[in-house]
Structure 1
C-alpha cells in the first residue's frame, strides 16, 4: 500500500527528545534537507506501491534519504542502519521529528526498495541532484555547455576466477541438484575435488604448468562424466529448469577449457561478468562491468553514470551517454571532451565530440576547456574510494545499472554538501576573519599584492 507519513505530530510530548532542539539548524546536512523537494519524491515514487491494498509501507522520504546517505557515506546497508540510530542529523535528514533509538527497517527492505524503483527511479534521483546542484549554486547553468566523458570498470563482488575453482564448484552444484531430482550416479568424484584444486594451485605457483594442466584435465574429465550421466538418464525436456541451468553452466565451462577462444564464464552466480583490461599496471584485468561517466568540465558535477553490458567499445557509448545527459539535465552539451579511446566512434549529431590530444579543436569553447579532459579521472577515483563504485554487490546486470546511477547520486550530494558548508563558513564573519588572519600570518605578499605561502 502507498506509504503514509504520520510522523508529523500536532503537539509536542513531554518526555520525547525532539531533533530540532538538539541539532544545529545551520548544519550543511540540515540546510540540504531543506532544499530537497521531498513532495516531488513522494509524487514520483508513490505509484510504485499499490494504492489500496496491503499494509502501508515506510515513508518515501525515509527510503530515499537512506539511499542517499548510503552512497554519500560509502556504507553498506547494515552499517548505515547501525550508524543511523546514533546520528540525529541523519534522522532529521530522513524526516524524523523525534530521536529514534531503534533502526527504522531491516537491510533487506532497502534492497527491496532498490528493486522496486529500478534504474528509472535511480535516474529520477540523479535528475533531482542535478536540479539541487543548480539551485544551490554548486554547478552553474553555463557549465552544461562543455562535458567530459570517460569509461571505467566497476568490479563485481566475485572471487578471482580460475578454471579449477569454477569446475569444482560447478561439479558440486550439479551433483547436488541432480541427486535432488532423483538421478543416480555410478560415481560422483566429489572426494577428489579438493585435492585436485589444491594441487592445481600449488603447481601454478611453482610454474609447473604441465602438471597443472594434467590435474585440470582430470577435473575436466570428472565433470564431463557427470554431465554425460545426467544427459543419459534425463534427456532434454525431462529435466527441471534448475538442473538445466546448472548443466548449461557446466557444459559452458567444459567448452571454454577445451576451446580457449570461446566466450568465457567468470562466475557461476554472476554469469554476466566480463573481463576488462584498462591498461593498469597494478590491475591488468578487472572482472565486472564497464561504466560510462559524464561530468561537467568546470565543476566536475556528474551528469550520468551508466553501467554497460559486456566490454563495449568506448566510441560506441558516446551517443547513448549524451541521450541520458539530456534526460537528466534537459539539454545537450555543445562540446564533449573524450580521450583517444573514442577514436572512430565519436561521430554523433547530439554534440561536438572532441578527442583531446588527437588534433587541435575548433572553437573557443573547446580550446578553453581542452585541458579539463583529465579532470574526470580524479572524479572516478573519488567515486570508487569515497563512494561504492569500487565494488558492486547488487545482483545481475540490473543491479549494476542501479548501483552505478546511485553512486553518481552520492557523489553529487557530497559535492552539494561541501558547497553548502563553504557558503556557511564564508558568511560567518568570525570564521572568515580567523581564516584571513591565519592566511596573512603564514604568507608573504608578492609584487602583485597576492599572498604566497612563506618558505
Structure 2
C-alpha cells in the first residue's frame, strides 16, 4: 500500500533540529533537493503498490533520495543508512520534516528501492530535471539583442549532440572455463547433499560424487603458473564428466517427487544455470570452439555477457553495454543491454530524441568511426546535420587548413563524452557495478548518470553564486 506524502515540500528553515538551529540555504543537499522534481513522479511510483492492501510503503522521495545519496557519496547500503542517521541535511534531502537519531529504514530496503525504481523512471527524472533548469535559464536568453534572436530563428538546426558507448563491468572475477566448471561442480554437490538429507532413511546409500578426487584434478592444473592447452582440455573433460554424473544423480533424486521441495529458490535457480553451463561447455569442448551465443561467465550473475570492446588493456569486459549522449554538458543514458550491440544503429533514435527534447535537430553530431556508415550519413544529410569525421572513400591528397581545423575542433568536442565516462568510472561506481540482479544493476547505472547531472547543476550554481558575490564585492569597493 502507498500513501502519498505531503505535496508541499518542507522549507529548510522549518526543518526541526534538536539544538534549535536552522539548515543553511547554501548547503549542497538543500540545493539538490530543490533541483529534483519529486512530486511529478510520485504518482507513477505509487502505481506499483496496492491501494488498500499491505503496510504503507516509504515515500518516493525517501527511496530515490537514498539511492542518490549512496551514489553521490560512493558508499555501501549499510553506510548510507548510517550517514542518513547522523546527518540532518541528508534527512532533509530524503523528505524528513525533523531530525531523528533513529535509522529511517533497514539497509536491506535499498535493494527494494532499486527494484521498484526502474531504469526508465530514472531516465525520465533525469530528462525532466535538466529540462526544468534549461527552461528557467531561458529568461536570460530572452535578453539577447534583436539581431541575435533573428539569427537564431534563421538557423533550422541548433546545438551539438555527442554520442558514444561504453561498458559498465559487473562485480565478478575474470572468468575461465575450468574455474567456471569447478564452481558448477561444487554447486551440484551441495544440491545432492540437500536432496539426499530427507531421503536418508529411504535410500540404501548416498550417490557418489568423488568430490575430493574432482578437487584434486582441478587444483592440479589451476595451481600451475602456466599450463598447456592439452592440460587444460584434459582437466575440462574431467570436470565435465563429474558434472554429468552429478546431474544424473540429481535427476534420480528428483524422481521421488518429494525431494524437489527440499531445494530453496536460489538452489533451484543455480541448478538451471549449472545445466546450461554444462551444455555450453560441452558443446565448446566437442567443437573445439572458444565462443557460443549467450555464453554464461558467472554462476551468481548469469545475465552478464562478455562485451568485446577492443580497448587497450581490456579487449573484453563483462557487464552491461550502454549507449549515452551529451547535450549542453549534460549526459543521458539512451540504451542499456546485457548483450553486445552495434551502437551505430542507435544514432537515428538519439537524434530524434534530441529533437523531441529541444524542438530542433542538432547542428552537428560528434561520433567516432563506427557511427559513420553510409546509412547514418544519408540520414544526417537529409536533415541538414553535419556529422564529424572525414568523408568515406580515399582521402584527398591535399586537405585545406579549414578542414584540418574543423576536424581538430570536432575531436575536442567529442572529448566531452569521453570525460563523462571517465568521471563515471573513476569518481562514481560505473567501473564496478556492485548490484547483483539485472534490473537493480540497470537502476544503479541510471542513477549514476542522474547524479552526474546533479553534480553539474550544483557546480554551475556555486559558480554563479561566486560570480555574483565577487561582483557585489567589486561594486561596494568602487562605488
Normalised by the length of structure 1, the TM-score is: 0.79
CA distance in 1, matches of 2:277, 2:50: 38
Q: How does 1:148-187 map to 2 (within 5 A)?
A: 148-181=162-195, 186-187=207-208
Q: Which residue of 2 aligns with 1:274?
A: 305
CA distance in 2, matches of 1:131, 1:37: 11
Give the Å deviation of 1:181: 4.2
1:270-321 CA distances to partner (integer Å, 9 max, x unpaired)? 222222232333323211121101112xx42113343123111121232344
1:381-407 CA distances to partner (integer Å, 9 max, x unpaired)? 101112221122334443343233221
Extract unaligned runs of 5+ from structure 1.
Answer: 437-455
CA distance in 2, matches of 1:14, 1:133: 29
Q: Which residue of 2 aligns with 1:447?
A: none
Q: Is 1:103 paired with 2:122? A: no
Give the Å deviation of 1:411: 0.6
Give the Å deviation of 1:158: 1.3
Q: How does 1:366-381 map to 2 (within 5 A)?
A: 371-381=412-422
Q: How does 1:70-219 map to 2 (within 5 A)?
A: 70-135=70-135, 137=137, 145-181=159-195, 186-203=207-224, 205-219=225-239
CA distance in 2, matches of 1:353, 1:396: 40
CA distance in 1, matches of 2:465, 2:15: 32
CA distance in 2, matches of 1:45, 1:366: 46
Q: Which residue of 1 aligns with 2:337?
A: 308
Q: 2:319–2:338: 8 Å Cα contact kept in structure 1?
A: no
Q: Which residue of 2 aligns with 1:341?
A: 370
Q: Is 1:290 paired with 2:321? A: yes
Q: Is 1:222 paired with 2:222? A: no
CA distance in 1, matches of 2:452, 2:283: 42
| CA RMSD of superposed structures (Å) | 3.9
35-44 vs 405-414, greater mean Cα deviation: 35-44
CA distance in 1, matches of 2:112, 2:278: 31
Residues 13 and 432 of structure 1: CA distance in aligned 2, closer, same or farther (over 3 Å): closer
Residues 258 and 22 of structure 1: CA distance in aligned 2, closer, same or farther (over 3 Å): farther
Residues 82 and 233 of structure 1: CA distance in aligned 2, closer, same or farther (over 3 Å): closer
Secondary structure of 2:423's counterpart equals: helix
CA distance in 2, matches of 1:17, 1:391: 40
Residues 176 and 130 of structure 1: CA distance in aligned 2, closer, same or farther (over 3 Å): same
54-63 vs 171-180, greater mean Cα deviation: 171-180
346-355 vs 252-261, greater mean Cα deviation: 346-355
CA distance in 1, matches of 2:19, 2:362: 49
Residues 370 and 250 of structure 1: CA distance in aligned 2, closer, same or farther (over 3 Å): closer
Extract unaligned runs of 5+ from structure 2.
Answer: 142-151, 200-204, 261-267, 393-398
Q: Is 1:16 paired with 2:18? A: yes
Secondary structure of 2:117's counterpart equals: helix
CA distance in 1, matches of 2:436, 2:356: 25
CA distance in 2, matches of 1:37, 1:14: 23
Normalised by the length of structure 2, the TM-score is: 0.76
Q: Which residue of 2 aligns with 1:413?
A: 454
Give the Å deviation of 1:267: 0.9
1:16-53 CA distances to partner (integer Å, 9 max, x unpaired)? 346xx343212343233234333223333232322222
How many residues are aligned here? 425
35-44 vs 90-99, greater mean Cα deviation: 35-44
Q: Which residue of 2 aligns with 1:383?
A: 424
Give the Å deviation of 1:135: 4.5
Q: Which residue of 2 aligns with 1:60?
A: 60
CA distance in 1, matches of 2:42, 2:372: 43
Q: Which residue of 2 aligns with 1:444?
A: none
1:60-109 CA distances to partner (integer Å, 9 max, x unpaired)? 22222222222333333222222222322222222223222222112222
CA distance in 2, matches of 1:72, 1:144: 32
CA distance in 1, matches of 2:389, 2:46: 45
Q: 2:15–2:92: 8 Å Cα contact kept in structure 1?
A: no
Q: Which residue of 2 aligns with 1:445?
A: none
CA distance in 2, matches of 1:256, 1:430: 70
